[in-house]
Structure 1
Amino acid sequence: MDTVSDVPYIVEASGLTKEFKGFAAVKNVDLRIRRHTIHALIGPNGAGKTTCFNLITKFLEPTRGTIRLNGKDITRTPPADVARLGMVRSFQISATFPHLTVLENVRIALQRPIGNSFHFWKSETSLDALNDRAMALLADVDLISYAKHLAVELPYGRKRALEIATTLALEPEMLLLDEPTSGMGREDIARTADLIKRVSEGRTILMVEHNLSVVSDLSDMITVLARGEILTEGPYSEVSKNPQVVEAYMGTGGAH
């Protein structure tokens, strides 16, 4: 029996606290992320969501508290080791090579074990064996028509799609997205939201996102932070009606 999948929460954080020179950016946060859901972390500027996200992804060490992944304590585990366990932050190791083609970028990601150097010395023939898998990943993110384009030539929204493709090459069980639609126009936002929905199948996603229409469309569960603490949690239908949320966040003009 697969005991890991019997645990309903892929990530469980308890008492998560991060202090910077006496200032608590995150205070005693308990966060449970259910397997195979899209979980959004939202809040006004200064709410602590980025700090919280950085703690979960292991880019920051907590002052206090514990983080468990599939029941395993990862509180002091380095990010590369956490990635090997299946939790990968998009853009963590997926910086693209601007002067290689889109296909070449994905092929490199496919043959790079986490924590090891890129295998630039591999022959062109051995890399060709990865083409089918690479093209399948490009199909997943709707980039087939851009396969032979240089990464530098991609429109902004498509660059983000390529970064997601190179992250997916690592076959993560859990994908962490930091402001995936930031800086995008309406068309790119819609395309990226659709992409996130598609790649979430069979995976868990935690995202920090400021665009509330994206959050309402995608999220199964939302955690709202304010002043470093959890204000409330629940599906969008509940969270959006919470008077404290309306006051602290929705009323800032970001609700529509």
Structure 2
Amino acid sequence: MIKFQIHETRDEMTSPPPILEARGLAKEFRGFAAVDGLNLQVREGSVHALIGPNGAGKTTVFNLLTKVLKPTRGHICFRGNDITAKSTADIARLGVVRSFQISAVFPTLTVKDNLRVALQRPNGLSGQWWKSLNALDRLDERAYSLAEDVDLGKYMKHRAGDLPYGRKRALEIATTLALDPVMLLLDEPLAGMGHEDIEGVTQLIDRVAKGRTVLMVEHNLKVVAKLCDKITVLARGQILAEGTYTEVSSNREVRQAYMGSAA
């Protein structure tokens, strides 16, 4: 088993250790480097953003970290242990849970039943098709608790497909929380939302980040500035800049990548 030796600066010694680390991470598609030698550290308990222009490699990084894609080169470490060879299911069992850009709920099921489906695996009921539906009743208390956490308590009997888009996103976050994640990876959680939903979901992410680590890809820089402790800017599969929002927003190369001008 490979373990990374972490060399910390004086400032880093006062910070929480990295919960997730990538070293030399690369992914090539027929000779094209979508991610090229990425070195990334996500501190435990932080809210960390990956930002960058379209095609920068942000979602590819998520897919590598959660083993949806196999790295061409490099290593991934979680809490000091190398997890590069582990499967997607292994990663989830470690407590690293992700969402996707497209809302992934069961539209014909109620909010309550979506949450009960999500709760089956962590409660040992997944795949037990021979049991009656009454066996799921013991999940109701936790389902209602999750719904309240994301302001969906009054929507429990509504079909998920009938919910406004922002509520669907809230339900998706609730289903990820059903797995009791240590680290939550959110891939563009505000994508496609109107202004009326953005503030509510931003507040929701802020609440669910308490007591866990969040790594998020997000294009809304106002939300990134509000939520995130650290920001990593990607361009062409490589890190262009890292730091606080103030630091990266004043970086000439970052302005060039986003706006085509260093002015």
When the two structures are superposed, what TM-score results if normalisation uses the length of structure 2?
Answer: 0.88
Match of 2:183 among 171, 174, 188: 174
Q: CA deviation at 1:166?
A: 0.8
Residue 252 (structure 2) pairs with residue 243 (structure 1): yes
Provide Cα deviations, 1:166-191, integer angstroms capped at 9, x if missing partner.
Answer: 11001010011111000000111111
Using a 3 Å threshold, how does the CA distance of structure 1 residues 202 and 182 change in structure 2: closer, same or farther?
Answer: same
Tell me by how many angstroms 1:97 deviates: 2.0
Q: Does 1:84 align with 2:93?
A: yes
Task: Report Cα offsets for 1:107-156 as digits up to 9, x if no partner.
Answer: 12112249984445433433222211111100111100101101111111
Paired residue for 2:161?
152
Contact 1:221-1:235 at 8 Å conserved across structures = yes
Distance 1:174 1:252 in 2: 34
More divergent stretch after superposition (126-135 vs 176-185): 126-135
**Where in structure 2 are the equivalents of 1:216-227 lying within 5 Å?**
216-227=225-236
Distance 2:104 2:192 in 1: 18
Q: What is the aligned partner in structure 2 of residue 104 from structure 1?
A: 113
SS of the residue corresponding to residue 233 of structure 2 reads: strand
CA contact (8 A) 1:91 1:167 kept: no
Residue 22 (structure 1) aligned to one of 8, 28, 31:
31
Aligned to 2:242, which of 226, 230, 233? 233
Note if contact 1:233-1:239 (Cα within 8 Å) is conserved in structure 2: yes
The superposition leaves residues 207-227 of structure 1 with CA deviations (integer Å, 9 ceiling, x where unpaired) of 111111111111111000111
Which runs of structure 2 are paired with 1:198-217 in the superposition (5 Å)? 198-217=207-226
**Conserved 8 A contact 1:91-1:163:** no
Are 2:65 and 1:71 aligned? no
Task: Quote the Cα distance in structure 2 between the aligned partners of 1:242 and 1:69.
Answer: 30
Q: Structure 1's 184 and 219: CA in aligned 2 closer, same or farther, altered over 3 A? A: same
1:14 partner amino acid: R
Aligned pair count reads 246
Who is 2:10 aligned against?
none
Letter in 2 for 1:157: G
Identity of aligned residues (%): 63
Say which of 138, 142, 146 aligns to 1:137. 146
**1:111 and 1:119 in contact (8 A); partners too:** no
Aligned to 2:109, the other structure's residue is in SS state coil
Aligned residue for 2:67?
A: 58
> In 1, are the aligned partners of 2:77 and 2:84 still within 8 Å (CA)?
yes
Shift of 1:56: 1.2
Q: Structure 1-normalised TM-score?
A: 0.90
SS at match of 1:97: coil
- Equivalent pair of 1:176/1:207 in contact (CA under 8 Å): yes
CA distance in 2, matches of 1:237, 1:14: 26
Contact 1:108 1:118 in 2 (8 A): no
For the structure 1 residues 65 and 85, does the alpha-carbon distance in structure 2 shift closer, same or farther, using more than 3 Å as the test?
Answer: same
> Offset at 1:7?
6.8
